[in-house]
C-alpha cells in the first residue's frame, strides 16, 4: 500500500537515498529497547565497566537526556562510564550487536539538544577519560581525552606560555567542542575548531577504532588522503565517538588591550569592523551589543552605559604593536561616527570595560525575571550583517518579543538572546517561528542557519534548505557508509525518512507536492516527528519541534 502510493510520487525506487532509507526504516527494530535486549546488553556492559560504570537510575538518565537547550529531556535507557578507548570500543560492539543507539555525552553544555536520546539507547558518558596526553611545547600541540574541558586544559598549560584559544561560553569538553565545531569570541583571529584540530581518535558504531590522521601523527599540515579529521568535526556524534583529539595550541598573548566604542547605528559599527579587518589589524575579539542589550546591561549593573550599538574590541600582541593597533582602531571608529572610545591595558580596567559584554546573558535574563533564555545563532557574510540585524530587530518589535542581540561581528555571527516564559505556549510558538524566519533570513543572505551551536535536534530541516538536496544526499550517503544501522546519535543533524509516517500523511500530501515548505499545521496534529520526503530530485522540507 505504502509502496504503491510512493510509486505515484516519482521514481523513488531508483533514488539511492530513498532506497537506503526504506531499507533501514522498514526493516528497523524497535529502538526504545525494553525487556530482554536491554537486559542482556546491560549485563554485558557490567562485565566491561563494572557495576559502578553502568546506571539505570531515573535521575541519572534524566541528567543525561538534557543539555542547556530548551529541548525537552529525552533520557536514554542506560548510562555507561567507560574509562578507556578499549572500553568504549567494547561497549560500542555490544550496542552494535543488540542494535542499541549510542549517544556520546561530554559535559552536557550543548545548545541544540544534541544529547537527547530520542530513540532511547545507551548514553556514553566519556567524562572519566580525562587525561591530558602528549603535550609538545615546541610543536604547539597537545592531545586530550573527552573528559578534559577547555578551562582545565588552559589551567594545565598555564606555565608553558601556550593556550587553546577557542572559547565558547560554557566550560565545555574539548571533544564535545570538536563534535559541534564550536567557536568562541576570538575566532576572528584564532579560528574555530575546524582550524584547530590536527587528529582524532574515533570509535565507530561497530566498535572499530580509527585515527583520522594516523595514530600519533601531528604535522601542522598534510595533503594525505581524504580529510577525515574535518569530517568528524561538527558531526555531532552521528558518525562516531571521539575519544581523543589532538589540538593546535597558540602562544598566550604577550599583552592585551581592550577598547569600547559606541556608534549611532548598526551599519556604522559593522562598517568599522570591516575597515578594521581590511586595515590588517590582527584584532583578537570584536564583539557587538545592540542598544536593547546595552540598555539591559545599564539596568542590570547600574553603570552609565551609552544606550547605542556598541563594539567591544580586544587586541593581542607585543606592547609596541598594541599601541599601533589601538591608534588605527581609534581612527577608524572615529571615521564612522564612533564616540566614547575608551581603552585599557591593565587587567582590572579591562574587566570593567568589558563588563557589559560578560554580563550580557544575565542582563538579558534580568529583563524578565522568572523567564528562561534561548540563544539563536546565525552567521552571514559580514557585508550582509547590518541588513540581517536591522530586519531582525524589526521582526522582534513587530512580534513583541524580547531579544537583545550580542554578536561576534568579526565573523558575521550574532545571537538574539530570546527571553521567554516557557509556560506560555503562545510565546514559545512565536519564538519558534521567529527563529525559523531568522534562519531563513540568514540563508537568503548567503549565510548559515547555525554559526556555532550546531544542527542538533531543531535545525535539521534548515540544514536541508541550506545545503540543498544534492549535498544532503551526499551527507546521507556518508552517514549510511559509516553507520548503516543509524545507531550513532539518531535524530540529529540529518532528517531521516519514516515511511510509516508518510503513509499517515497520504491524504494531505499530494496537494503539497508543488509547495516548497510544509508547515507544522500541515501535518496531522498527533505527529511530532520531523519528516522529510524526497520527490525525484526535489526536497520538500518539513518543520516541527521534536
Partner 1 sequence: MAARVLVGVKRVIDYAVKVRVKPDNTGVVTDGVKHSMNPFCEIAVEEAVKLKEKQLVKEVVAVSCGPQQVQETIRTALAMGADRGIHVEVSGKDYDALGPLQVSKIMAALAKKEEANLIILGKQAIDDDCNQTGQMTAALLDWPQGTFASEVVLEGDKLKVVREVDGGLETVKLDMPAVVTADLRLNTPRYATLPNIMKAKKKKISVVKPGDLGVDVASRLEVLRVEEPPQRKAGVKVETVEDLVSKLKEGGRI
Residue 123 in 3-state DSSP?
Answer: strand
Find the shortest distance in angstroms from Cβ 161 to partner 1. Answer: 4
Backbone angles phi, psi at 164, to 5 degrees: -105, 110
Which of residues 158 and 506 has its CB atom nearest to partner 1 in the complex?
158
Query: CA 426 → CA 308, 401, 457, 471, distances in Å?
Result: 31, 11, 21, 35
Find the shortest distance in angstroms from Cβ 337 to partner 1. Answer: 36
Q: Find the length of the chain.
A: 546
d(CA 508, CA 522): 8
Beta carbons within 10 angstroms of residue 319's beta carbon: 10
Find the shortest distance in angstroms from Cβ 392 to partner 1. Answer: 37
Which of residues 206 and 323 has its CB atom nearest to partner 1 in the complex?
323
Sheet holding 538-542, edge to edge: 517-518, 538-542, 533-535
Find the shortest distance in angstroms from Cβ 162 to partner 1. Answer: 7
What b-and-e string marks burial along 326-362, b requiring 16 or more CB atoms within 10 Å of the CB?
bebbbebbeebebeebebbeeeeebeebbbbbebbee
537's torsion region: left (phi>0), alpha (psi -120 to 50) or beta? alpha
d(CA 408, CA 186): 8
Which of residues 127 and 469 has its CB atom nearest to partner 1 in the complex?
127
Find the shortest distance in angstroms from Cβ 81 to partner 1. Answer: 16
Which of residues 154 and 267 has its CB atom nearest to partner 1 in the complex?
154
Find the shortest distance in angstroms from Cβ 25 to partner 1. Answer: 44
Which of residues 156 and 275 has its CB atom nearest to partner 1 in the complex?
156
Residue ranges in contact with partner 1 by CB under 8 A: 152, 155-156, 158-163, 251-254, 318, 347
Backbone angles phi, psi at 104, to 5 degrees: -70, 145
Which of residues 190 and 300 has its CB atom nearest to partner 1 in the complex?
190
Residue 540 near residue 533 (C-beta atoms within 8 A): yes
Find the shortest distance in angstroms from Cβ 291 to partner 1. Answer: 32
**Which three cell numbers, joined as nine digits, stand for 66?**
538534557
Find the shortest distance in angstroms from Cβ 254 to partner 1. Answer: 5
460-467 vs 425-444: helix axis angle to the nearest 10? 20
Find the shortest distance in angstroms from Cβ 115 to partner 1. Answer: 25
d(CA 246, CA 232): 13
Which of residues 44 and 152 has its CB atom nearest to partner 1 in the complex?
152
Which of residues 195 and 254 has its CB atom nearest to partner 1 in the complex?
254
Find the shortest distance in angstroms from Cβ 245 to partner 1. Answer: 19
Non-local (6+) Cβ contacts of 228 within 8 A are 200, 210, 212, 213
N- to C-terminal Cα separation, the chain = 27
d(CA 513, CA 6): 12
Non-local (6+) Cβ contacts of 350 within 8 A are 256, 257, 258, 314, 344
Find the shortest distance in angstroms from Cβ 54 to partner 1. Answer: 17
Q: Which of 284, 287, 314, 292 is nearest to 412 (CA)?
A: 287
Q: Which of 491, 300, 520 is nearest to 428 (CA)?
A: 520
Which of residues 130 and 395 has its CB atom nearest to partner 1 in the complex?
130
How many CA atoms are closer than 13 Å to the CA of 88, on its beta-carbon side? 29
Which of residues 253 and 309 has its CB atom nearest to partner 1 in the complex?
253
Which of residues 52 and 426 has its CB atom nearest to partner 1 in the complex?
52
Find the shortest distance in angstroms from Cβ 126 to partner 1. Answer: 18
Q: Which of 403, 168, 420 is nearest to 295 (CA)?
A: 403
d(CA 410, CA 187): 8
Q: Which of 450, 457, 425, 440 is nearest to 519 (CA)?
A: 440
Which of residues 162 and 462 has its CB atom nearest to partner 1 in the complex?
162
Find the shortest distance in angstroms from Cβ 206 to partner 1. Answer: 33
Return the sign of the alpha-carbon dihedral for residues 297, 303, 306, 310: negative
d(CA 132, CA 479): 30
Which of residues 93 and 352 has its CB atom nearest to partner 1 in the complex?
352
Amino acid at each position: 500500500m505504502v509502496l504503491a502510493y510512493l510509486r505515484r510520487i516519482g521514481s523513488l525506487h531508483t533514488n539511492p537515498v530513498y532506497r537506503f532509507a526504506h531499507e533501514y526504516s522498514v526493516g528497523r527494530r524497535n529502538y526504545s529497547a525494553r525487556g530482554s535486549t536491554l537486559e542482556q546488553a546491560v549485563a554485558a556492559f557490567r562485565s566491561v565497566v563494572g557495576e559502578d560504570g553502568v546506571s539505570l537510575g531515573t535521575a541519572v538518565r534524566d541528567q543525561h537526556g538534557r543539555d542547556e537547550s530548551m529541548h525537552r529531556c529525552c533520557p536514554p535507557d542506560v548510562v555507561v562510564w567507560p574509562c578507556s578507548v578499549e572500553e568504549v570500543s567494547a561497549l560500542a560492539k555490544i550496542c552494535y550487536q543488540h542494535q542499541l543507539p549510542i549517544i556520546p555525552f561530554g559535559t552536557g553544555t550543548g545548545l541544540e539538544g544534541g544529547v537527547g536520546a530520542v530513540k532511547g539507547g545507551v548514553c556514553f558518558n566519556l567524562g572519566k577519560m580525562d587525561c591530558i596526553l602528549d603535550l609538545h611545547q615546541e610543536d604547539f600541540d597537545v592531545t586530550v581525552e573527552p573528559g578534559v574541558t577547555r578551562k582545565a586544559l588552559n589551567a594545565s598549560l598555564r606555565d608553558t606560555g601556550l593556550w587553546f584559544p577557542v572559547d565558547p561560553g560554557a566550560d565545555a569538553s574539548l571533544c564535545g567542542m570538536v563534535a559541534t565545531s564550536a567557536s568562541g569570541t576570538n575566532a576572528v583571529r584564532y579560528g574555530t575548531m575546524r582550524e584547530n584540530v590536527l587528529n582524532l581518535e574515533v570509535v565507530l558504531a561497530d566498535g572499530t577504532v580509527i585515527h583520522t590522521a594516523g595514530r600519533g601523527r601531528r604535522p601542522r599540515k598534510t595533503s594525505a588522503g581524504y580529510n577525515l579529521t574535518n569530517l568528524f568535526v561538527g558531526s555531532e556524534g552521528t558518525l562516531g565517538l571521539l575519544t581523543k583529539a589532538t589540538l593546535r595550541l597558540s602562544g598566550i598573548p604577550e599583552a592585551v588591550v581592550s577598547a569600547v566604542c559606541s556608534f549611532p547605528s548598526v551599519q556604522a559599527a559593522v562598517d568599522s569592523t570591516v575597515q578594521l579587518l581590511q586595515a590588517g589589524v590582527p584584532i583578537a575579539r570584536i564583539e557587538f551589543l545592540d542598544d536593547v542589550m546595552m540598555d539591559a546591561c545599564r539596568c542590570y549593573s547600574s553603570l552609565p552605559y551609552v544606550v547605542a550599538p556598541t563594539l567591544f574590541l580586544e587586541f593581542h600582541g607585543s606592547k609596541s604593536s598594541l599601541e599601533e593597533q589601538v591608534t588605527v582602531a581609534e581612527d577608524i571608529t572615529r571615521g564612522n561616527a564612533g564616540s566614547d572610545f575608551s581603552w585599557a591595558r591593565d587587567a582590572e580596567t579591562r574587566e570593567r570595560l568589558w563588563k557589559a559584554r560578560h554580563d550580557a546573558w544575565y542582563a538579558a535574563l534580568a529583563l524578565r525575571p522568572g523567564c528562561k533564555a534561548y540563544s539563536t545563532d546565525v552567521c552571514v557574510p559580514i557585508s550582509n550583517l547590518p541588513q540581517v540585524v536591522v530586519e531582525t530587530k524589526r521582526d522582534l518589535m513587530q512580534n513583541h518579543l524580547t531579544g537583545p542581540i550580542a554578536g561576534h561581528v568579526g565573523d558575521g555571527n550574532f545571537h538574539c538572546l530570546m527571553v521567554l516564559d516557557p509556560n506560555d505556549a503562545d510565546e514559545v510558538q512565536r519564538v519558534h517561528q521567529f527563529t525559523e524566519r531568522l534562519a531563513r533570513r540568514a540563508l537568503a543572505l548567503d549565510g548559515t542557519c547555525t554559526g556555532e551551536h550546531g544542527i542538533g535536534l531543531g535545525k535539521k530541516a534548515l540544514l536541508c534548505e541550506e545545503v540543498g538536496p544534492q549535498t544532503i544526499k551526499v551527507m546521507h550517503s556518508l552517514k549510511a557508509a559509516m553507520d548503516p544501522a543509524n545507531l550513532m546519535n539518531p535524530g540529529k543533524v540529518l532528517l531521516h525518512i519514516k515511511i510509516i509516517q508518510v503513509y499517515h500523511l497520504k491524504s494531505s500530501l499530494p496537494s503539497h507536492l508543488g509547495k516548497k515548505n510544509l508547515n507544522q499545521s500541515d501535518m496531522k496534529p498527533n505527529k511530532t516527528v520531523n519528516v522529510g520526503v524526497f520527490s525525484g530530485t526535489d526536497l520538500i522540507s518539513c518543520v516541527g519541534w521534536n
